[in-house]
Structure 1
Amino acid sequence: MTELQQINRASATEAAQMTGAAYIAGVLKQEGVRQIIGYPASELFDAAAALEIPPLIARSQRVAVNIAEGYARATAGRELAVVTVQYGPGAESSFAGIAQAFNDRAPVLFLPTGYPRGSEAVTPNFESRRNFAHITKWCETATRVEDLPKLLHAAISRIRYGAPAPVLLELPVDLLNELQEASPQDHLCPRRSAPQAEKAQVAELMERLLAARHPVILAGQGVLAAEATPELVALAEALEIPVMTTPNGKSGFPENHPLALGTAARARPETVDHYLEEADLVLAIGTSLTRSYYILPVPEDKIILQVTLDDSDIGKDYPVTLGVVADARAALCQMLDHLGPTPVKPATRAGLRAEIAAHRAAFLAKWMPLLTAESSPISPYRVIWEMVGVLDPDRTIITHDAGNPRDQLCPFYVATQPGGYIGWGKTTQLGSSLGFALGAKLARPEAVVVNLMGEAAFGMVGIDFETAVRCDLPVLTVVLRNNVLGGYARSMPVASQKYEANRVSGEYASIAEALGGYGECVTEAGDLRAALLRGLDQVAQGRAALIEVVTHEEPRLAGLW
């Protein structure tokens, strides 16, 4: 080889090289990533920005992960939600958000930076690979820059295939700045799969379902992730089976459908209790059937048929007569095919729709005095009823915070469109709803996005209302203010009585104004509707809005009172 050829070859090699950070950004571009979420500093922000992938910088790492979860759930995991944070304290502060996403089964790609290689195991340096292993689906560290293509492909594959969950790839900062020769154009984009059930399993499942006298369907978040609502509706209508959802699965079945029973949460409509008690068989589809304080348990005398994408779900918390490992939509299509084009509806279910409507009407009539109360301070149920009146569920995405806002909203809000309600029923970290709302608005800017929270929740994350303002994510936040930690006096009665340990204070509309958004405080029930409409008008004009409502503490919950 001549000297000139050697020089040309060396120049071509040098031209093909790029840093590890640039390679990762190139792969994210190939994957169609529209933004990278996080909190500085991370070498990925500049590398992504160079490729026209803008950063979305939150005010805290936990909320950044919440935003990514909201984005992932609002897109049913079809778009890659990516979060990056600084090594050490940045990764440490992200732990709560990743734990929440793990419990919610949200497919989030978490790319924290790591300490320079050689110092990551030095006490007290925080190593993400060791500490996040039990709250992620896959958790690895890149130690050689030449391994980046393989590791990044593996990480994204685990996002796309199997049960959804956060995936973590830790990226040492020195590796991100190291040159490597791989090209992002050579990256093979993993595609989602939808595994089917065995034909014999489908036949047995349908045989048991058809033999049941009073079956009920319990639909989970897997229905939303698989975008299987049309198939679920078709099966329910074909066999005239009533449908309830889990908290995470709420909106997976349209709740204005005459066969809808509502959500089987801690607080729930009377229709759920009645038909679950009456049922002899429960078809649980797209749900882990996790036992939780926030989820209504399935009675022990029921036959349970479970369809889930994760084999570890089966038999985890309940004895299951038949467990089927399959994608929810794929399994529903198989079940419909097994039925054929003209299934015969059981005669025992004649008049079921009218009966459900009567139970629903009786439930609402019982609660109407609270939903329309003129009390001062305002009843939180009046707030929810006014929200129901002004929001169009066909174009709204609503979410809620932990505690009373969840338990008071869930039984009464009628979700009509898949993904129109972001619910959660396992880990319940205060403040998560704001990030969920921001992520949903980022994913679906045409939607009206609303989150309901108490003042304790706002205290956790309120400064990230500025993120909504700065990042042009106009959401409507409704804050219920009663100056107490709702329900906590029961767990610390002595401390509350002697030292007012359950008391908090503050005014929040003025904080929203100070952060650049619209803020309004409502103290009279008669002013609620107009205030909510003003907030929605501000949102329509592109400005984040916060409506603070002064309420009284309300211990009564549907299904528990």
Structure 2
Amino acid sequence: MSLSSLLFRRAHRRNPSMPAPESTHTGADQVADALQTLGVRHVFAIASIHNLPILRALHRRGFTEIVGMRHEQAAVHAADAYARSGGGLGVAIASTGPGTANTMGGLYEASFANSRVLLITGQTETYNLDKGKGALHEAEHQPEMLRSLCREVARPRRGGDIGDILLRLARDVLTGRPQPAAVEIPIDMQRGPCEQIELKPLEVPRDGVPDEHARRAAELLASAERPLIYAGAGVNTSGAGPQLLALAEATGIPVVTSRDGRGAIPEDHPQCLGGFATVRPLREYVESADVVLAVGARFQMLPTDAWRLRMPENLIHLDVDPTVIGRTYKAKLALAGDAARGLEQIHAHLGSPARDHAEHLARGREAMAAARQGISAEMGPDHEAICASIRRHLPRRSPVVRDATVPAYVYGDRVLPVYEPGSSIRPVGAAIGPGLPFAIGAATVTGLPTVLIQGDGGFMLSVGELASAAQAGAKVIVCLFNDKGYGVLREILERQYGPPQDDVDLVAPDFEALARSFGIAAEKVADTAAFDAAFARAVEHDGPSLIEIDMSALHPLQRA
């Protein structure tokens, strides 16, 4: 130990709030060491008295860039979308007490979506921990609160353990079915000196399925007359898109996706039948399958029409989480293992295709086209034109982000085409408001223009993140569909309760002026030609843009 470190340790015992000299290796430096070892290039953070040493250490190291957010929930949402968009581990940094309490909405969504998110938060000094003395931002039961949404929660007992703890938590987040994790680091551990240790890169296990089960699955698929592949979000999470495509092309089997499985196969691929399996007549086609291979699918409520979508007796269910298999649909063959490895194993057992599925696929494409026409009738000509404009101008690999809003429900979640794994982001938990931080996270990892389908009501929940987008220079294009209220709730009131329609009409700011006050390019449009021109400009703009669309001037959406 150097003389300066020894002298600091002695002084630190007398005054634990004393920061270590910048030349001394600290607990905060172990955070920076661990994030670099994990390959984390960006974190989403809000500066606070209880995390400043960590942020300073990241700046000194220079490997991990800090994206400043305006609310802790938004920081977690951004980290969540960063992970889903291919960024690996999504990391948010918050403060103890009220700051960590603010993260809970974001952690709920990350948990519901099985997202690879790690929360790093501060904590009061070790000598004040769990004493109930009312120390600044004291949170006696913070670990218990975090455990309600995180699979693993840790608090180091010494500064020298911080790096190893972060690597252990990251390994848990990245292994099997992802779930968030959290660590709280007392402020004196962040500031205090500790040894510099060598951290080794993670080895994340990816377990295959029993080979005999893979062989039986191949036999079932080979003998089927009307086989179908149902791709869920787990295909994207596992990075199994190439293996899925290889199996589909080798067998000629059609593929449908769940809403969160979109992008697992390019939606302009001839074997892709889209992500709207419950829309007739595609629904009847799906229900006519004699063998279904479901990959990474939880079969949640909305994608299955509240579980009324029928699955065949011969259901092969491949999922990394064995507790998911058989939870909603009985599986004839359970394959517990990683989606990518399981698909490779099934493919390896397939010989030459025993059947030609060209006619079966043709019937599926006819059913998909008819279902798409039904959705088009709900959209109307103006929203069809807007959907076409977005896809025409947006780069193929660009993320497509949707908030919980009527245009997303009608077409953004179903038929606005997506072509790449990880390019389709939506609130899986169906909450309004995370759209803008989602878009910031997705744009950060890809560097591409990122479209956001957003309603005015939900936008107000994250409106402060306009400042974050402006400061980061994120290439986010906010398509703000303004109907002056909560359109979804208006529909529910009208259908289920009748008048009066209280609590759903909202006072809103001048969104164009608000965006411009942050230096964001913004304009209002009231017709499809103006939208097309505005969107084209936004795609070329180097920075965030906002296009406010007056929904009262458009042909109304007609939800079935």
Residue 227 of structure 1 deviates from its aligned partner by: 2.1
In the alignment of these two chains, the number of paired residues is: 533
Decide whether aligned partners of structure 1 residues 475 and 66 sit closer, same or farther in structure 2, where only a CA change above 3 A counts: same
Question: 2:548 aligned with 1:548, yes or no?
Answer: yes
* Counterpart amino acid of residue 158 in structure 1: D
More displaced, 309-318 or 507-516? 309-318
3-state SS, counterpart of residue 111 of structure 1: strand
3-state SS, counterpart of residue 483 of structure 1: coil
3-state SS, counterpart of residue 387 of structure 1: helix
Query: Counterpart of 2:61?
Result: 51
CA distance in 1 between counterparts of 2:303 and 2:489 reads: 16
String of CA shifts for 1:232-253, please: whole Å, max 9, x gaps.
1121122221111122211011
Q: How does 1:344-359 map to 2 (within 5 A)?
A: 344-347=353-356, 349-359=357-367
CA distance in 1 between counterparts of 2:526 and 2:438 reads: 27
* Counterpart amino acid of residue 26 in structure 1: D
3-state SS, counterpart of residue 479 of structure 2: strand
Are the equivalent residues in 1 in contact too, given 2:90–2:118 (CA < 8 A)?
yes
Query: Counterpart of 1:145?
Result: 159
* Counterpart amino acid of residue 515 in structure 2: A
Q: What is the TM-score with the length of structure 2 in the denominator?
A: 0.88
Decide whether aligned partners of structure 1 residues 457 and 380 sit closer, same or farther in structure 2, where only a CA change above 3 A counts: farther
Decide whether aligned partners of structure 1 residues 9 and 220 sit closer, same or farther in structure 2, where only a CA change above 3 A counts: closer
Query: Counterpart of 1:167?
Result: 181
Decide whether aligned partners of structure 1 residues 146 and 385 sit closer, same or farther in structure 2, where only a CA change above 3 A counts: same
Residue 259 of structure 1 deviates from its aligned partner by: 1.5
3-state SS, counterpart of residue 176 of structure 2: coil
Q: What is the TM-score with the length of structure 1 in the denominator?
A: 0.88
* Counterpart amino acid of residue 96 in structure 2: Y
* Counterpart amino acid of residue 82 in structure 2: Y
More displaced, 118-127 or 475-484? 118-127
Residue 518 of structure 1 deviates from its aligned partner by: 0.7
More displaced, 118-127 or 509-518? 118-127
String of CA shifts for 1:274-332, please: whole Å, max 9, x gaps.
3222123321112233x323554342654322111122222233322222121111111
Are the equivalent residues in 2 in contact too, given 1:138–1:155 (CA < 8 A)?
yes
Question: Alignment partner for residue 18 of structure 1, among 3, 16, 25?
Answer: 25
Query: Counterpart of 2:150?
Result: 136
String of CA shifts for 1:421-452, please: whole Å, max 9, x gaps.
22443x1221212112111111111x221111
CA distance in 2 between counterparts of 1:13 and 1:32 reads: 31
Are the equivalent residues in 2 in contact too, given 1:101–1:108 (CA < 8 A)?
yes
Question: Alignment partner for residue 383 of structure 1, among 382, 386, 395?
Answer: 386
* Counterpart amino acid of residue 360 in structure 2: L
Question: 2:482 aligned with 1:468, yes or no?
Answer: no
More displaced, 355-364 or 12-21? 12-21
Question: Alignment partner for residue 420 of structure 1, among 412, 418, 423?
Answer: 423
* Counterpart amino acid of residue 277 in structure 1: E
String of CA shifts for 1:130-175, please: whole Å, max 9, x gaps.
1111311211222332432432231122133222221111112222
CA distance in 1 between counterparts of 2:8 and 2:461 reads: 52
Query: Counterpart of 1:237?
Result: 249
More displaced, 298-307 or 246-255? 298-307
Are the equivalent residues in 2 in contact too, given 1:281–1:302 (CA < 8 A)?
yes
Residue 467 of structure 1 deviates from its aligned partner by: 1.0
Query: Counterpart of 1:459?
Result: 460
Query: Counterpart of 2:371?
Result: 363
3-state SS, counterpart of residue 328 of structure 2: coil
Question: 2:520 aligned with 1:512, yes or no?
Answer: no
Question: 2:233 aligned with 1:221, yes or no?
Answer: yes
Residue 549 of structure 1 deviates from its aligned partner by: 0.4
String of CA shifts for 1:91-147, please: whole Å, max 9, x gaps.
000010011111111111111112323544355843331111131121122233243
Query: Counterpart of 1:282?
Result: 292
* Counterpart amino acid of residue 204 in structure 1: R
Structure 1 unaligned spans of 5+? 374-378
Residue 366 of structure 1 deviates from its aligned partner by: 4.3
Query: Counterpart of 1:404?
Result: 406
* Counterpart amino acid of residue 25 in structure 2: M
* Counterpart amino acid of residue 198 in structure 1: P
Question: Alignment partner for residue 432 of structure 2, among 430, 433, 456?
Answer: 430
Structure 2 unaligned spans of 5+? 11-20
Decide whether aligned partners of structure 1 residues 50 and 8 sit closer, same or farther in structure 2, where only a CA change above 3 A counts: closer
Residue 420 of structure 1 deviates from its aligned partner by: 2.4
CA distance in 2 between counterparts of 1:472 and 1:231 reads: 35
* Counterpart amino acid of residue 339 in structure 2: A
CA distance in 2 between counterparts of 1:330 and 1:280 reads: 24
Question: 2:345 aligned with 1:334, yes or no?
Answer: yes
Question: 2:62 aligned with 1:60, yes or no?
Answer: no
Question: Alignment partner for residue 246 of structure 1, among 245, 258, 266?
Answer: 258
Residue 488 of structure 1 deviates from its aligned partner by: 0.7
* Counterpart amino acid of residue 421 in structure 1: S
Question: 2:275 aligned with 1:273, yes or no?
Answer: no
CA distance in 1 between counterparts of 2:439 and 2:264 reads: 18
Query: Counterpart of 1:376?
Result: none
CA distance in 2 between counterparts of 1:141 and 1:13 reads: 22
CA distance in 2 between counterparts of 1:466 and 1:12 reads: 39
Decide whether aligned partners of structure 1 residues 8 and 34 sit closer, same or farther in structure 2, where only a CA change above 3 A counts: closer
CA distance in 1 between counterparts of 2:60 and 2:434 reads: 31
CA distance in 2 between counterparts of 1:530 and 1:468 reads: 22
* Counterpart amino acid of residue 395 in structure 1: R
Are the equivalent residues in 2 in contact too, given 1:468–1:544 (CA < 8 A)?
yes
CA distance in 2 between counterparts of 1:152 and 1:76 reads: 17
